[in-house]
Chains A and B, each alone.
Chain A
Amino acid sequence: MKPNDVAMNTQETKEIEIQTDEPESKPVEYDEQKLADFLSKMYPKMQEALDDSVTMMDVKRRAFAEDKTDIKVKLLQEIRISNENLQICAMCWNSTGNSIAISSTYEHQSWCHHKGTVNVYTLNREDLLPDAPQKILHASACVTTLRFHPTITALLAGGSRSGEILLWNIQLEESVVLKVNAHEEIVTQISWVNDIDLTSNPLLATSSLDGFLNLWRFNSTTNSLDIKDKYKIKSPLFGRLQRKSELPLDIARKVDRGVIGFDFSKFEPHMFVVAAEGGLVARCSMLGTKTIKGSAGDCPISDPVYKYYTAHEGEITTILFSPNRREMFMTNGSDGEIRIYVLNQEEAAQVIFIESPIKNVAWIPHEEKLLAACGVAGFIEIFDVLKGKSVDYSIDEKYEKSVMNLMEINSRRINTVIVGSAEGILQLWTIPWHLYSRKP
């Protein structure tokens, strides 16, 4: 067929009636005696199985009826971390979902003079937190971010205000595994991410206000952290992406913006999104990075950005890929917007405008329609991603609302959520997310 041909290659057909015949069933031959014997042999076994499943269903039904009281949002427990006026600033469940590490700090005006403390709690037999932590870890400065290793359940990584990275093994008496002076400024986020080569061990990614996002290799035999890649996020040159409101002077003067947060895609390990100072959102990749001229030495610095998005008018508090949808990620800014981006689109696919300031947003595993957020309102707000609105639910009237700083969903028991409030109180909640995704 010539390439310029306009005619189609399909033929038109017309049908008037369709008639199918039932396949003729030929009488099957079998030995009656053998069949009779077979049935009498099998009957007792079958009867037992039939009775068994009936009683099984009754037991299940009773158990389900007892659980009905738990199918609503409940505050299970509240613990005060310490007596002083500490703010909870970092929390992380470990990979089995049985232990949680909590870091609390004082309000800082400038330099951090404090010793950092991280408390580790392990859930007891009733799946509640004990009154006192199982382990207390120390650092030379306040610990701002924590992440447990995805497979080594006792290994905990932390970043501090002084730019130091610490690795602890919570099972050992002498917990500190290593300390590295990784950054010049406060470490804003730490995460274990998969290398492009999925068969190798996870890398440790660290970000800081010094403008760097570093990737490290952790060697468990030598207990050392070796730098693999260094990335710097530059401010975008294109005017249209710059935000409308004025940037604070100290940020506007910087060539390299401090990195506030980042997230690597679970589905495509080379891809990651970065949130930088000034509300900047950028999409980056470990592949195809451009080495920044003038940087040499043992680890050259590269520019990993390949797309900038319109900046938030405020500072970004959370940036996360969806664990359910490979093409989706979300950013939350102090400008009162939760933006949901779809990778191949220029602008945010959905924007949720929030009334009271939100401090932390989380995706919910297995619930692609929902987002959970906590903040000044003092209770966990659930949002419907498609509708862009919050989902209402009833809370116990006796519950006293207090500002929530952080929330972490337990990856193994998704309905269990830990919340850190601004007054140094830990709250353990149970939330049946699935009930809210079905609401019309």
Chain B
Amino acid sequence: MSNEIEETMKRIQSHKGVVGTIVVNSEGIPIKSTLDNTTTVQYSGLISSLADKARSVVRDLDPSNDLTFLRIRSKKHEIMVAPDKEFILIVIQNPTE
């Protein structure tokens, strides 16, 4: 079981340009991460509240709709956020590497 989890995490992490992968639970607490503690905690808190806000925007505009994916592109890298009911998958990529 845990093997499968580690396998998928490794596969994501080995993708071109991926800097870090974090899995967060519904309360915004990090469960798995390939980054150091401080960075993980920072990303977890900020991204989960942003994902919550994004979801409520989508649902407010159309209650039958729901957020499926969120991408934040910045000058230095891109943050991909895949939310679900119980967890959120966060991947940070530097596409130029």
The reply on B22 being an interface residue by CB < 8 A is no
Complex: A115 Cα to B67 Cα, angstroms: 64
Q: A36: which B residues are within 8 A, CB to CB?
A: 1, 4-5, 8
Query: What 0/1 pattern do residues 34 to 64 of A give for CB contact below 8 A with B?
Result: 1110111111011101100110110001000
Of the candidates B5, B11, B82, B93, which one forms a contact with A35 in the assembled complex, judged by CB atoms under 8 Å apart? B5
A43 touches B8 (CB 8 A): yes
Query: What 0/1 pattern do residues 1 to 33 of B give for CB contact below 8 A with A?
Result: 110110011011001111000010100011110
- B84 and chain A: residue at smallest CB distance: A38
Q: B82: which A residues are within 8 A, CB to CB?
A: 42, 45-46
Q: How many A-B residue pairs have CB under 8 A?
A: 80
B8 touches A54 (CB 8 A): no
B84 touches A40 (CB 8 A): no
Q: B87: which A residues are within 8 A, CB to CB?
A: 30, 34-35, 38
The reply on B65 being an interface residue by CB < 8 A is no
- B15 and chain A: residue at smallest CB distance: A50
The reply on A110 being an interface residue by CB < 8 A is no
Complex: A361 Cα to B69 Cα, angstroms: 50
Of the candidates A30, A49, A54, which one forms a contact with B16 in the assembled complex, judged by CB atoms under 8 Å apart? A54
Q: B5: which A residues are within 8 A, CB to CB?
A: 32, 35-36, 39
Specify the main secondary structure of chain B where it touches its partner: mixed
Complex: A258 Cα to B97 Cα, angstroms: 64
Q: B84: which A residues are within 8 A, CB to CB?
A: 38, 41-42
Q: B4: which A residues are within 8 A, CB to CB?
A: 36, 39-40
Q: A42: which B residues are within 8 A, CB to CB?
A: 82, 84, 89
In chain A between 9 and 43, which residues have their CB closer than 8 angstroms to a CB of chain B? 22, 25, 28, 30-36, 38-43
The reply on B95 being an interface residue by CB < 8 A is yes
B71 touches A39 (CB 8 A): no
Closest chain B CB from A25 CB (angstroms)? 7
A46 touches B71 (CB 8 A): no
Q: A47: which B residues are within 8 A, CB to CB?
A: 12, 15
B91 touches A50 (CB 8 A): yes
B17 touches A39 (CB 8 A): no
Closest chain B CB from A211 CB (angstroms)? 53
Q: Which of B73, B95, B96 has the largest count of A CB atoms less than 10 A from its CB?
A: B95
Closest chain A CB from B93 CB (angstroms)? 6
Closest chain B CB from A416 CB (angstroms)? 25
In the assembled complex, 24 residue pairs joining A and B whose CB atoms fall closer than 8 Å, in A order, are A25-B37, A28-B29, A32-B5, A34-B86, A35-B5, A36-B1, A36-B5, A38-B87, A38-B89, A39-B8, A39-B89, A40-B8, A43-B12, A46-B12, A49-B69, A49-B71, A50-B17, A50-B18, A50-B80, A50-B93, A53-B71, A53-B73, A53-B93, A54-B16
